[in-house]
Amino acid sequence: MKKENYFYITINFYPQYEKKIFQKIDENNYKHLKTGDIYRKRLMYDWGWGQEYGFEKLPQLSFVELLEMITEYKGKIFNYSKDYMNFIGAISIIMQDHIEELIDFLAKKINTDYFSDKKTKENFKWFSFSSQKTREMGKIPGGILSQSYEEVLNQYPKWQEISNTVKEKIYSN
Protein backbone atom coordinates (compact mmCIF):
# COMPACT_ATOMS: atom_id res chain seq x y z
CA MET A 1 0.00 0.00 0.00
CA LYS A 2 1.26 3.47 -0.84
CA LYS A 3 2.39 5.57 2.08
CA GLU A 4 0.03 8.52 1.95
CA ASN A 5 -2.42 10.27 4.23
CA TYR A 6 -5.66 8.33 4.06
CA PHE A 7 -6.84 9.94 7.29
CA TYR A 8 -6.54 13.23 9.14
CA ILE A 9 -7.83 13.01 12.70
CA THR A 10 -8.07 15.65 15.39
CA ILE A 11 -6.77 14.96 18.87
CA ASN A 12 -8.45 17.01 21.59
CA PHE A 13 -10.31 18.47 18.59
CA TYR A 14 -7.07 20.03 17.32
CA PRO A 15 -5.81 20.88 14.71
CA GLN A 16 -8.41 22.64 12.60
CA TYR A 17 -7.83 20.77 9.36
CA GLU A 18 -10.79 22.45 7.68
CA LYS A 19 -8.99 25.76 7.70
CA LYS A 20 -5.42 24.66 6.98
CA ILE A 21 -5.52 21.61 4.71
CA PHE A 22 -8.99 21.33 3.14
CA GLN A 23 -11.41 23.36 1.12
CA LYS A 24 -15.07 22.51 1.69
CA ILE A 25 -16.87 21.24 -1.42
CA ASP A 26 -20.26 20.37 0.10
CA GLU A 27 -21.79 19.24 3.39
CA ASN A 28 -19.40 16.31 3.98
CA ASN A 29 -16.76 16.44 1.25
CA TYR A 30 -13.53 18.39 1.16
CA LYS A 31 -10.73 18.91 -1.34
CA HIS A 32 -7.14 18.66 -0.12
CA LEU A 33 -5.50 22.00 -0.93
CA LYS A 34 -2.15 20.50 -2.02
CA THR A 35 -3.06 17.16 -3.61
CA GLY A 36 -6.58 17.79 -4.91
CA ASP A 37 -7.73 14.50 -3.35
CA ILE A 38 -11.29 14.31 -2.05
CA TYR A 39 -11.90 13.50 1.62
CA ARG A 40 -15.09 12.88 3.55
CA LYS A 41 -15.56 14.40 6.99
CA ARG A 42 -16.71 11.86 9.57
CA LEU A 43 -16.46 10.85 13.21
CA MET A 44 -13.35 8.89 14.15
CA TYR A 45 -11.74 7.61 17.38
CA ASP A 46 -12.88 8.56 20.88
CA TRP A 47 -9.94 9.01 23.28
CA GLY A 48 -12.30 9.66 26.17
CA TRP A 49 -13.27 13.30 25.70
CA GLY A 50 -15.73 12.73 22.86
CA GLN A 51 -15.54 11.16 19.46
CA GLU A 52 -13.04 13.08 17.36
CA TYR A 53 -13.82 14.21 13.87
CA GLY A 54 -11.55 13.56 10.98
CA PHE A 55 -11.27 13.14 7.25
CA GLU A 56 -11.20 9.91 5.27
CA LYS A 57 -9.77 9.85 1.75
CA LEU A 58 -12.17 8.69 -0.94
CA PRO A 59 -12.75 6.19 -2.33
CA GLN A 60 -12.98 4.35 0.97
CA LEU A 61 -10.42 1.61 1.55
CA SER A 62 -11.55 -2.01 1.81
CA PHE A 63 -11.48 -3.99 5.06
CA VAL A 64 -8.35 -5.83 3.86
CA GLU A 65 -6.55 -2.55 3.10
CA LEU A 66 -7.53 -1.09 6.48
CA LEU A 67 -6.38 -4.24 8.24
CA GLU A 68 -3.04 -3.97 6.43
CA MET A 69 -2.55 -0.49 7.91
CA ILE A 70 -3.12 -1.90 11.37
CA THR A 71 -0.80 -4.87 11.02
CA GLU A 72 1.98 -2.81 9.38
CA TYR A 73 1.96 -0.07 12.03
CA LYS A 74 5.31 0.06 13.84
CA GLY A 75 4.07 1.72 17.04
CA LYS A 76 5.45 5.20 16.61
CA ILE A 77 4.88 7.59 19.46
CA PHE A 78 1.63 9.52 19.82
CA ASN A 79 1.72 12.39 17.36
CA TYR A 80 0.22 13.65 14.13
CA SER A 81 2.36 11.42 11.90
CA LYS A 82 0.89 9.98 8.72
CA ASP A 83 1.41 6.40 9.92
CA TYR A 84 -0.22 7.06 13.29
CA MET A 85 -3.23 8.81 11.73
CA ASN A 86 -3.63 5.98 9.20
CA PHE A 87 -3.45 3.43 12.03
CA ILE A 88 -6.07 5.14 14.21
CA GLY A 89 -8.21 5.96 11.17
CA ALA A 90 -8.17 2.33 10.03
CA ILE A 91 -9.33 1.14 13.47
CA SER A 92 -12.06 3.78 13.54
CA ILE A 93 -13.42 2.87 10.12
CA ILE A 94 -13.30 -0.87 10.80
CA MET A 95 -15.24 -0.37 14.03
CA GLN A 96 -17.86 1.75 12.31
CA ASP A 97 -18.19 0.11 8.89
CA HIS A 98 -16.67 -3.40 9.02
CA ILE A 99 -17.45 -4.96 12.41
CA GLU A 100 -18.82 -8.23 11.04
CA GLU A 101 -15.76 -8.61 8.80
CA LEU A 102 -13.50 -7.99 11.80
CA ILE A 103 -15.31 -10.61 13.86
CA ASP A 104 -15.05 -13.13 10.99
CA PHE A 105 -11.34 -12.33 10.61
CA LEU A 106 -10.69 -12.80 14.33
CA ALA A 107 -12.66 -16.06 14.39
CA LYS A 108 -10.38 -17.43 11.66
CA LYS A 109 -7.19 -16.30 13.43
CA ILE A 110 -7.79 -17.29 17.06
CA ASN A 111 -6.82 -20.93 16.55
CA THR A 112 -3.61 -20.04 14.72
CA ASP A 113 -0.32 -18.47 15.82
CA TYR A 114 -1.35 -15.10 14.30
CA PHE A 115 -1.35 -13.36 17.69
CA SER A 116 1.96 -14.83 18.84
CA ASP A 117 3.74 -11.77 17.43
CA LYS A 118 4.09 -9.13 20.16
CA LYS A 119 3.65 -6.15 17.80
CA THR A 120 0.48 -7.66 16.33
CA LYS A 121 -0.96 -8.04 19.83
CA GLU A 122 -0.03 -4.46 20.73
CA ASN A 123 -1.66 -3.09 17.60
CA PHE A 124 -4.87 -5.06 18.17
CA LYS A 125 -5.12 -3.80 21.76
CA TRP A 126 -6.19 -0.46 20.26
CA PHE A 127 -9.52 -2.11 19.43
CA SER A 128 -10.16 -2.16 23.20
CA PHE A 129 -11.66 -5.64 23.19
CA SER A 130 -11.61 -5.42 27.00
CA SER A 131 -12.36 -2.01 28.49
CA GLN A 132 -11.10 -3.22 31.87
CA LYS A 133 -7.74 -4.41 30.53
CA THR A 134 -7.38 -1.24 28.43
CA ARG A 135 -7.87 0.90 31.52
CA GLU A 136 -5.43 -1.27 33.49
CA MET A 137 -2.83 -0.47 30.81
CA GLY A 138 -3.40 3.24 31.46
CA LYS A 139 -5.30 3.86 28.23
CA ILE A 140 -8.83 4.94 27.48
CA PRO A 141 -10.94 2.46 25.49
CA GLY A 142 -11.79 3.67 22.01
CA GLY A 143 -15.42 4.16 21.22
CA ILE A 144 -18.27 5.31 19.06
CA LEU A 145 -20.38 8.13 20.47
CA SER A 146 -21.27 6.97 23.98
CA GLN A 147 -20.27 3.30 23.58
CA SER A 148 -16.88 1.68 23.98
CA TYR A 149 -15.77 -0.62 21.17
CA GLU A 150 -16.31 -3.52 23.58
CA GLU A 151 -19.95 -2.48 24.04
CA VAL A 152 -20.40 -2.19 20.28
CA LEU A 153 -18.93 -5.66 19.71
CA ASN A 154 -21.10 -7.18 22.45
CA GLN A 155 -24.14 -6.55 20.23
CA TYR A 156 -22.96 -9.28 17.83
CA PRO A 157 -23.76 -12.92 18.77
CA LYS A 158 -20.68 -14.26 16.95
CA TRP A 159 -18.48 -11.95 19.05
CA GLN A 160 -20.00 -13.47 22.18
CA GLU A 161 -18.83 -16.89 20.99
CA ILE A 162 -15.20 -15.89 20.39
CA SER A 163 -14.64 -12.88 22.67
CA ASN A 164 -13.03 -14.72 25.59
CA THR A 165 -10.55 -16.49 23.30
CA VAL A 166 -9.72 -13.27 21.43
CA LYS A 167 -9.14 -11.39 24.69
CA GLU A 168 -6.95 -14.21 26.00
CA LYS A 169 -4.81 -14.12 22.83
CA ILE A 170 -4.54 -10.32 22.66
CA TYR A 171 -3.95 -9.55 26.34
CA SER A 172 -1.71 -12.49 27.28
CA ASN A 173 2.00 -11.85 27.83
- Write the pLDDT tens digit of every residue in 96-125: 999 999 999 999 999 999 999 999 999 999
pLDDT of the residue at 79: 63
Contact 63, 113 (CB under 8 A): no
Q: Which domain holds residue 148?
A: 7-171
Q: Report the greatest alpha carbon distance in the chain.
A: 48
Residue 22 is assigned to a structural domain of this protein: yes
- Write the pLDDT tens digit of every residue in 56-70: 999 999 999 999 999
Total structural domains within the chain: 1
* Distance between CA atoms of residues 21 and 167, nearest Å: 39
DSSP string, 141-168: PPEETTEEHHHHHTT-HHHHHHHHHHHH
* Distance between CA atoms of residues 82 and 100, nearest Å: 27
Residue 2 is assigned to a structural domain of this protein: no
For the chain, the average pLDDT equals 91
